[in-house]
Amino acid sequence: MSTDATGAARVLSGNDASSDVKEELKKRVEALGQKLPGFRPGLAIVQVGGREDSNVYIRMKLKNAEAIGINATHVKLPRSATEVEVLLKLNELNQDPNIHGIIVQMPPDSEHYINPHTITDAVNPEKDVDGLHTMNEGHVATGDLETGFLPCTPNGVMELIKRTGVKIAGSDAVVLGRSKIVGTPMSELLKWHHATVTVCHSKTKDLEQKAAAADILVVAIGRAEMVKESWIKPGAVVIDCGINSIDDPTKKSGKRLVGDVDYKGAAKRASWITPVPGGVGPMTVIMLMRNTVLAAEKMLERLLQPKWNLR
Amino acid sequence: MSTDATGAARVLSGNDASSDVKEELKKRVEALGQKLPGFRPGLAIVQVGGREDSNVYIRMKLKNAEAIGINATHVKLPRSATEVEVLLKLNELNQDPNIHGIIVQMPPDSEHYINPHTITDAVNPEKDVDGLHTMNEGHVATGDLETGFLPCTPNGVMELIKRTGVKIAGSDAVVLGRSKIVGTPMSELLKWHHATVTVCHSKTKDLEQKAAAADILVVAIGRAEMVKESWIKPGAVVIDCGINSIDDPTKKSGKRLVGDVDYKGAAKRASWITPVPGGVGPMTVIMLMRNTVLAAEKMLERLLQPKWNLR
Ligand SMILES: NC(=O)C1=CN([C@@H]2O[C@H](COP(=O)(O)OP(=O)(O)OC[C@H]3O[C@@H](n4cnc5c(N)ncnc54)[C@H](OP(=O)(O)O)[C@@H]3O)[C@@H](O)[C@H]2O)C=CC1
Ligand SMILES: NC(=O)C1=CN([C@@H]2O[C@H](COP(=O)(O)OP(=O)(O)OC[C@H]3O[C@@H](n4cnc5c(N)ncnc54)[C@H](OP(=O)(O)O)[C@@H]3O)[C@@H](O)[C@H]2O)C=CC1
């Protein structure tokens, strides 16, 4: 966390934060192996087809898993796979005692229509380390943050906000975006950390004015650099979930990644701000790892419980 | 819907609105009986113990069911009932083909500790006409308003707001309260009707100022007449979910019911306001009836489906 040259804001680094979590997870995996020799958390990453962006995300997940000691398996299904075939595969993984976490890389890349909700809800909620099963969503919505798994991106954002030391309870938080995987669970987590939360979306009027009232502003709209300096309340914590690829002729690839926030402008007013890349992105991956380790810990606990305990 | 003598606001009557829904439901029940002679929606109301307030609510539900043609059964369990006994009873009702809707009157009045979440989640989601199962909560949170059942009080409030003709999409809505049964699903329904929603609770700062920014203000905090005239934006729609009994020596009972809003004061500024009693209360009951009819309709549809349709 360093002071950024372009403005007053301190940089809220997801690289730093995720490294810290990684070290913690290595220790937890080691402890599991000591409790039951040979035991390692198992993660299945199911991919339908072969989208290039999905390949990149999956490689990153495999690399992180390996570094932590998680046994990750890349389960590839062909583009010809139907929804029923994906469901059969998930059923098999749900039964597999060596698999503690299951994710399906979205979007599926199939020749057939595959309903993402059907897929997500076919993962056993106890193995749903993406936290996207409707049961897990219901838990988060009603403030039960213990029973299930928290969705990775919002959970990573909470970790980042906590690292600033800013008081969340009683603060005014504004979330731009209400998607199932980012905006909606984000607003719920902030609410149950006792912020007063306003959720904005494409139908919101006076968006700038609403953003400018936020002590904590989380942006997840998928619009390159839309949030400008004037949208930021002086001293606010600004979290940018956006990942947008824009043209940049100065780069070899001709492309550059930017967030949903105009970083240089916003950094002049914010107290803390996440960069893109290196902000929310690495937190999402590491929270997936943490959920997987947690799933394995819970499973081992059940395994080692006295057999006569029927509840 | 009449103009109220105490102020400018029009009265948003739950009595009127629920009568209209009642007539609609009678017709739907009749249509069911025509599709399958003798078929009637079946509702089980499970009560543990005998709290006086619960008795009153249950009588009201039974009366409404009767008027509509719903076969309602009052399933009484003694105060000595344990959680396991309640779960066994629910399991029996889940299996019963003549029961399409099941509710457990809360709070249970037992000598033993009974976890309300365990109970609510033991009702088959397809019979959960209270809309309180975690699966149903998850559906509402993520904007799937079709698959499950919507919780009764927030759903009744939406009906009332729709009757005003005020445009919900793009409006600024503020919900005071974040409980599992009222505040949280209320804010979700408003969000998925495309309002920009701010959720307030006991940790919120500047509560009055936040309320005063609302085009649509829904209050569910359980604090007698806490919301005053100055909290209301001129022209706002004000929905009062509160049911509070306060002392009133002028009444025979020595008591009087009031909402969470100071009605007379707020009515001076609001465009529409719900009275207490006769506002949200009757809507909650009638939405339970509507969910029960819907559950029966869905069941009958499944029954009458060609048998070779395996999905
Ligand atoms: N760092 C990470 O690991 C991850 C990053 N992301 C990134 O986060 C961003 C959001 O992702 P996701 O939530 O999946 O995206 P979605 O497209 O699913 O949702 C975008 C949300 O933003 C709202 N929105 C879109 N345009 C506007 C606008 N002009 N004004 C106000 N609101 C608007 C939409 O409103 P409405 O609902 O009305 O359409 C919607 O709720 C993307 O850039 C994505 O790449 C996503 C997941 C993980
Ligand atoms: N009409 C009907 O059919 C029904 C009516 N009701 C009525 O609605 C009201 C709310 O019920 P319910 O949601 O179950 O109640 P709960 O007690 O479960 O929740 C109350 C909510 O209000 C918040 N709150 C309490 N005091 C304050 C305050 N001073 N300032 C700001 N927020 C506050 C609480 O915040 P926090 O979370 O921080 O504690 C909580 O979120 C009650 O009057 C109840 O009788 C309820 C159900 C049905």
**Does residue B167 belong to the interface with chain A, where contact is any CB pair within 8 Å?**
no
The fraction of chain A above a pLDDT of 70, given in percent, is 96
Predicted confidence at residue B308, as pLDDT, reads 58
pLDDT at B130 over 80: yes
Cite the beta strand spans of B124-209 per DSSP E.
172-176, 196-200
Angle at A239 between CA A236 and CA A240, to 5 degrees: 135
Q: What digits encode the pLDDT tens for the residues A14-26?
A: 999 999 999 999 9
Q: Are B205 and A134 a contacting pair at CB < 8 A?
A: no
Q: What is the DSSP pairing of strand A216-219 with strand A172-176? A: parallel
- Distance (angstroms) between ligand 2 centre and the Cα of B178 equals 7
**Does residue A82 belong to the interface with chain B, where contact is any CB pair within 8 Å?**
no
**Does residue A138 belong to the interface with chain B, where contact is any CB pair within 8 Å?**
yes
**Does residue A141 belong to the interface with chain B, where contact is any CB pair within 8 Å?**
yes
**DSSP label of B108:** P
User: What is the Cα–Cα distance from B225 to B218, expressed in whole angstroms?
Assistant: 13
User: What is the Cα–Cα distance from A197 to A191, expressed in whole angstroms?
Assistant: 6
Q: Are B188 and A139 a contacting pair at CB < 8 A?
A: no
Could you list the active site residues of A? Answer: 61, 105, 130
Q: Are B141 and A188 a contacting pair at CB < 8 A?
A: yes
Q: Which residue's structure tokens are 């399933």?
A: B75
Residues in B touching A140 (Cβ below 8 Å): 141
User: What is the Cα–Cα distance from A30 to B55, expressed in whole angstroms?
Assistant: 56
Predicted confidence at residue A1, as pLDDT, reads 46
**Does residue B291 belong to the interface with chain A, where contact is any CB pair within 8 Å?**
no
Q: Are B141 and A137 a contacting pair at CB < 8 A?
A: yes
Q: Are A117 and B205 a contacting pair at CB < 8 A?
A: no
Closest by alpha carbon to A260, among A288, A235, A232, A284? A232
Query: In terms of C-beta distances under 8 Å and separation of at least 24 residues, what long-range contacts does B302-308 make, across chains too?
Result: B303/B36, B304/B35, B304/B36
- Distance (angstroms) between ligand 2 centre and the Cα of B226 equals 12
- For residue A84, the surrounding DSSP H or E stretch is helix A83-95
B280 lines ligand 2 (CB under 6 A): yes
- For residue B257, the surrounding DSSP H or E stretch is strand B255-258
- Distance (angstroms) between ligand 2 centre and the Cα of B243 equals 10
The torsion angles phi and psi of A76, rounded to 5 degrees, stand at: -100, 130
Q: What digits encode the pLDDT tens for the residues B140-166?
A: 999 999 999 999 999 999 999 999 999
- Distance (angstroms) between ligand 2 centre and the Cα of B177 equals 5
Write down all domains in chain A, each with its CATH number in brackets.
37-124 (3.40.50.10860), 150-281 (3.40.50.720)
- Distance (angstroms) between ligand 1 centre and the Cα of A73 equals 29
Angle at A13 between CA A8 and CA A15, to 5 degrees: 160
**DSSP label of B163:** H
Residue A189 near residue A177 (C-beta atoms within 8 A): no
When the pLDDT of each residue in chain B is averaged and rounded to a whole number, the result is: 96
Q: What digits encode the pLDDT tens for the residues A164-211?
A: 999 999 999 999 999 999 999 999 999 999 999 999 999 999 999 999
Q: What digits encode the pLDDT tens for the residues B29-62?
A: 999 999 999 999 999 999 999 999 999 999 999 9
Q: How confident is residue B305, by pLDDT bands cut at 50, 70 and 90?
A: confident
Residue B130 near residue B70 (C-beta atoms within 8 A): no
Predicted confidence at residue B89, as pLDDT, reads 98
Residues in A touching B169 (Cβ below 8 Å): 203
B281 lines ligand 2 (CB under 6 A): yes
**Does residue B82 belong to the interface with chain A, where contact is any CB pair within 8 Å?**
no
Query: Chain B closest CA to A28's CA: distance in Å?
Result: 30
DSSP track, A165-223? T---TT-EEEEE---TTTHHHHHHHHHHTT-EEEEE-TT-SSHHHHHTT-SEEEE-S--
Which residues 177-196 of chain A have a CB within 8 Å of chain B? 178, 180, 184, 188, 191, 194, 196
Predicted confidence at residue B2, as pLDDT, reads 46
**Does residue A159 belong to the interface with chain B, where contact is any CB pair within 8 Å?**
no
A81 lines ligand 1 (CB under 6 A): no
Ligand located closest to A193 CA? 2
B217 lines ligand 2 (CB under 6 A): no
The fraction of chain B above a pLDDT of 70, given in percent, is 96
Written as six digits, the tokens of A78 are 């062909």
Q: In what order do the strands lie in the sheet with B71-77?
A: B71-77, B42-48, B101-104
Q: How confident is residue B304, by pLDDT bands cut at 50, 70 and 90?
A: confident
Query: What is the number of the ligand 2 atom nearest to the C-alpha of B201?
Result: 32
Nearest CA in chain B to A84: B311
Query: Chain A closest CA to B140's CA: distance in Å?
Result: 9
B20 is a catalytic site residue? no
Residues in B touching A117 (Cβ below 8 Å): 144
Predicted confidence at residue B4, as pLDDT, reads 46
Q: Are B135 and A134 a contacting pair at CB < 8 A?
A: yes
Predicted confidence at residue A291, as pLDDT, reads 98
Ligand located closest to A183 CA? 1
Give the number of other CB atoms < 10 A from CB of residue A20.
12
Predicted confidence at residue A310, as pLDDT, reads 55
Closest by alpha carbon to A86, among A111, A57, A54, A59? A111
Residue type, A223: R
